[in-house]
Amino acid sequence: MRGTLVSLRCKRTALCFMGRGIRLRFARRIELGDYGMIGDGVILSGLGRDGLQVGTRVNIGAYSRIVVGTDLGRPGSYIRIGDDCGIGEYSSVGGSGGVSIGRNTIIGQHFTAHPENHNFRDLSRPIREQGTIRQSILIGEDCWLGARVTVLAGVTIGEGCVIAAGSVVTRDVPALSIASGIPARIVGTRREDGRADN
């Protein structure tokens, strides 16, 4: 009942299940799919060009932040989460440069996605005054990202990939690859022939 009532504030009404203390910001830019589960204390914000789209049967763990943008003067781009995805507790996804997560992807706790980087080359100015570069993040369908994975701006993770817990993904990962480390490197493949894409 609580989930359906809260969803009345969103772009469309959804039959979903919501925990306590959920905060919606710019709710008219948020589209929730049916049968989702949003955990306690989650923050959802649709401040961005294309807002926040959450597919059907998506599970977002407690105390996560799914925030397209925070700056009224420079709104974010978008966050799109495909059907049947799961995102673990205490995760943080920013959508300033755009983030897309494909269907059936599962993500562990404390996941972070950062689709923008700060400029820092000018030594005469504080870093906070030098602006940012925004680049989208694309995570394919049917991936598994372990706990505490971080994905940085401009990265594409192909479909069917496995990213080991604690990895920091700084460059593209081909489909069906297994990657691990800081920075993440390909350590294996899920292909039967053992060959990775180039």
Residue 156: inside a domain = yes
State phi, psi for 54 to the nearest 5 degrees: -120, 125
Mean pLDDT of 63-79: 92
Minimum mean pLDDT range among 5-19, 34-48, 57-71, 84-98: 5-19
The Cα 102–Cα 48 span in angstroms is 20
Q: Is 56 exposed, middle or buried (0-12, 13-18, 19+ CB in 10 A)?
A: middle
Pairing of strands 30-32, 150-152: unpaired
Residue 95: inside a domain = yes
Residue 196: inside a domain = no
- Judged against a pLDDT cut of 70, whether residue 39 lies above it is answered with yes
Q: Catalytic residue among 2, 28, 118, 171, which?
A: 118
Assign residue 45 a region: left if phi > 0, alpha if psi is -120 to 50, beta otherwise?
beta
Sign of the CA dihedral running 12, 13, 16, 22: positive
pLDDT (0 to 100) of residue 191: 86
Going by pLDDT thresholds of 50, 70 and 90, the confidence category of residue 74 is: confident
pLDDT (0 to 100) of residue 64: 98
The Cα 47–Cα 71 span in angstroms is 8
Residue 89: inside a domain = yes
CATH of the domain at 181: 2.160.10.10
- Judged against a pLDDT cut of 60, whether residue 190 lies above it is answered with yes
Residue 124: inside a domain = no
pLDDT (0 to 100) of residue 71: 83
Residue 148: inside a domain = yes
Q: Is 100 helix (H, G, I), strand (E, B) or coil?
A: strand
Mean pLDDT of 116-136: 93
User: How many separate domains does the chain show?
Assistant: 1
The yes-or-no answer on residue 110 being catalytic is: no
Residue 197: inside a domain = no
Residue 12: inside a domain = yes
Q: How far is CA 106 from the centre of its chain?
A: 11
pLDDT (0 to 100) of residue 2: 56
Domain of residue 181, residue span: 2-118+129-189
